[in-house]
Amino acid sequence: MNASDILKILSLIAAAEPAVLGYIKSLLENTQGMSGDQFLAEADGVWAQVKANAQQQLQATPAPAGPKA
């Protein structure tokens, strides 16, 4: 990989969604010195977010129309 490729990747990251950037940032900042318990506690927090997002989407999405009689 040359400097141009690296710059291309960096520009892609800069244009990335906040969620992706946040995830990369948390990986870089938090992975060292953490215990298994701490990792699992964070994982549970993320799962709660996934669950909440799904429920919000399911409530907000219009139900598909049923078959016409």
Site residues, another protein (CB under 8 A): 9, 12-13, 15-17, 19-20, 23-24, 26-28, 31-32, 34-40, 42-44, 46-51, 53-55, 57-58, 61-64
For the bound state, the minimum distance from the C-beta of residue 43 to another protein, rounded and expressed in Å, comes to: 4
For the bound state, the minimum distance from the C-beta of residue 69 to another protein, rounded and expressed in Å, comes to: 20
- Name the residue nearer to another protein (CB basis): 7 or 38: 38
Question: From CA 2, how far away is CA 11, in angstroms rounded?
Answer: 14
